[in-house]
Structure 1
Amino acid sequence: MAGFILEAAGTALEEVRSRRPLIHELTNVVTVNDCANITLAVGGRPAMTCSIREVAEMAAAADALVLNLGTLQEHTLEAMHVAAAAAARYGTPIVLDPVGAGGTAWRTGAAGGIIKNYPVAVIRGNASEIQALAAGGKSGVNPGVDSDDKEEADSAGIRKLSTTLGAVIAVTGAVDIVSDGKRTLYCKNGTPLLPYVTGTGCMTTALIGTYAAVTDPFTAALAGILSMGIAGERAVAGRLGTGPGTLHALLMDEIYTLNSETLVSSGKVVAEDE
């Protein structure tokens, strides 16, 4: 299965570059510029509209909708609901990044409300955020947005959550896991430097959203995660002294020069049943 899905990811990248899909992103103020640029670098067209006066129209016109709860405010949450409702009406795939879920009751409830009310295609988070959702919205366990979990996420719990929510679950960490409840993949690309660059998780979600515009949610989740992991590896390869600042700039270059052949040949993907 791993070989087949890698080929599908490569094909999805070619589709993105050919079709240049419009990606509507309601994301956080810390990473909005990075998310827009990474979307451009992979081949999409970002629209970062967040005014409640126009999000429904933009979501209806877009090829995918990305919702990121990072710097959540009452007005941005309201706009997300309006955009998600429009996306649901028009069949636009929705990708959710439940940033900080498990940290506070309001934030955790906000993530749960979106998941409950709209057909979310992919949920991308770190282990703590996904565990909070799996625990039924338990809060107070992850006050920050960066996971400090040392262990891999529980694949059985991820499969169950995916089945329960009807969404592909993508957990990023030392080893990334993607599951649709029936198929589960472990992705081992990346570099230990990635967590030192603010927004790599948000950028990964933006990549997933871009791929979701041209392929199925499972392939989109894998392609987005692989793109970031491989780009990180290539950014530090052969460059002595590379630090977070340099990596930040190089990630954009590596995503821009990424091709389908590299995705297939460099992807370190293992299926759970293999």
Structure 2
Amino acid sequence: MNVEKIVSALRRVREVKPLVVNITNYVVMNNTANALLAVGASPIMAHSKQEMSEMMFFAGSLVINIGTLDSAWVPRMLHAVEQANVNKKTVVLDPVGCGASAIRTETSRQVAALADSLIIRGNASEIIALAGEQGQSKGVDAMDSSDAALGAAQYLVETYHCAVVVSGEIDFIVTEESYIQLKNGHAMMPYVTGMGCTLSALTGAFAAVGEKTGLAAAAVLGVAGEIAAEQSAGPGSLQVNILDTLYQLDVETLTQRLIMID
């Protein structure tokens, strides 16, 4: 059943080509925009409060990524979430580096508390920090294994009535109804800047067509990364090959390669 939902969501993204509004960090704008295009969605990087009510009226979802956060960004992010709520659109929160500084942790919690429909996608350390548990943090890199964050993920699900994706060697998708593990991907992927940010952006694309658990995005990127790594000499070519693989990924390959435990 979950495989069918993933396949259906991928087809739907390619048919609908949903607009995904991204308030994201300067490091990954190009990467995430290209990934959204490759999977079939339509990205826009919008940071202005003046246009956000219009954007969220016709967009499919909102992705908030705090990677290059400063005091000017916070009110823009919160205003965007308010507009997403008004228009009944899902918010995807990527709490980049949550736990590394007070402003990152506080902003992440503000966004999570404000959003009416929410998916949180982070690495284990970020999820632990967001939940308020003691986690190891080193900048934006995960120092905890993904399974170490399961208790924190469940707490966030219960607190914010959301879905949580904990990405890592194994991806965990936690909702109020289910708990799923995905075991695709490749060890080279963490050596490409913004892989987690790419997953968050793709999560926004699938949320825009009604897949609000984060499962489909994690499955698609995991399989694409695994396939791309097989033909990549290193992180540079991997980045390009992931885009090509997302673009070319067919239902049969996705179904055959997917490793899922539910």
TM-score bracket relative to the smaller structure: over 0.9
**Could you list the per-position Cα deviations for residues 79-116 of structure 1 after superposition, in whole angstroms to 9, with x for gaps in the alignment?**
11111101100101111101010111111000001111
- How far 1:143 sits from its partner (Å)? 4.2
AA partner of residue 95 (structure 1): V
AA partner of residue 225 (structure 1): A
Q: Distance in 1 between matches of 2:207 and 2:25?
A: 20
Q: Distance in 1 between matches of 2:27 and 2:170?
A: 25
SS in 2 for 1:152: helix
Q: Distance in 1 between matches of 2:156 and 2:226?
A: 30
Q: Distance in 2 between matches of 1:211 and 1:244?
A: 26
SS in 2 for 1:54: helix
Runs of 4+ aligned residues of structure 1 deviating over 4 Å after TM superposition are none
Kindly tell me the number of residue pairs found equivalent between the two proteins: 262
AA partner of residue 157 (structure 2): S
**Residue 127 of structure 1 aligns with which residue?**
124
- How far 1:192 sits from its partner (Å)? 0.1
Contact 2:127 2:152 in 1 (8 A): no
Match 2:227 to one of 228, 234, 244:
234
Contact 2:149 2:166 in 1 (8 A): no
Match 1:254 to one of 245, 250, 257:
245
In terms of mean alpha carbon deviation, does 197-206 or 149-158 score higher? 149-158
**Residue 186 of structure 1 aligns with which residue?**
181
Tell me, which stretches of 5 or more residues in structure 1 are unaligned?
none
1:1-274 → structure 2 map (5 Å cutoff): 4-135=1-132, 141-150=136-145, 152-218=147-213, 221-237=214-230, 239=231, 242-271=233-262
Q: Distance in 2 between matches of 1:152 and 1:180?
A: 15
Q: Distance in 1 between matches of 2:27 and 2:260?
A: 31
Q: Distance in 2 between matches of 1:217 and 1:84?
A: 16
**Could you list the per-position Cα deviations for residues 13-49 of structure 1 after superposition, in whole angstroms to 9, with x for gaps in the alignment?**
0000011111101100000011111000000010111
Q: Distance in 1 between matches of 2:207 and 2:50?
A: 25
Work out the percentage of aligned pairs sharing the same amino acid. Answer: 37
AA partner of residue 246 (structure 2): I
SS in 1 for 2:72: helix
SS in 1 for 2:147: coil
**Could you list the per-position Cα deviations for residues 166-195 of structure 1 after superposition, in whole angstroms to 9, with x for gaps in the alignment?**
010000001110010330001100000000
TM-score relative to the length of structure 1: 0.91
Q: Distance in 1 between matches of 2:178 and 2:163?
A: 10
Tell me, which stretches of 5 or more residues in structure 2 are unaligned?
none
**Could you list the per-position Cα deviations for residues 124-152 of structure 1 after superposition, in whole angstroms to 9, with x for gaps in the alignment?**
0000000011226x69x424011122463
TM-score relative to the length of structure 2: 0.95
AA partner of residue 225 (structure 2): G
